[in-house]
Amino acid sequence: MASNQQTRPGIGELAKDNVRGRIGVVMDEVGGRVQIRPICGGMEWDAMPDNVVALRAREELSARLAIRNCNSRDGL
């Protein structure tokens, strides 16, 4: 049976904070908030779980390209 509900991204997955319009990697869920790290590193921010969603295909492609660009700049 298929579900129409979209599941929230898990730890280590790309996600979007709809309130801030930012994309990052889910790091943890603490105190009822989701902690998200920017895709190229930096300070994590907290988001309410209801505002954290999986990326659409185009957003995910763009985010994965940005990650590769960050890694190439860092020599990885």
The domain spans of the chain are: 14-73
pTM: 0.84
| CB-based burial label for 44 (10 Å; 0-12, 13-18, 19+) | middle
| Cβ contact 15:23 at 8 Å | yes
Q: What is the pLDDT of residues 31-66, one digit of tens each?
A: 999 999 999 999 999 999 999 999 999 999 999 999
For 26, other C-beta atoms within 10 Å of its C-beta total 20
Identity of residue 39: I
- The DSSP bridge partners found for residue 11 are none
What are the C-alpha distances in Å from 30 to residues 4, 35, 45? 27, 7, 12
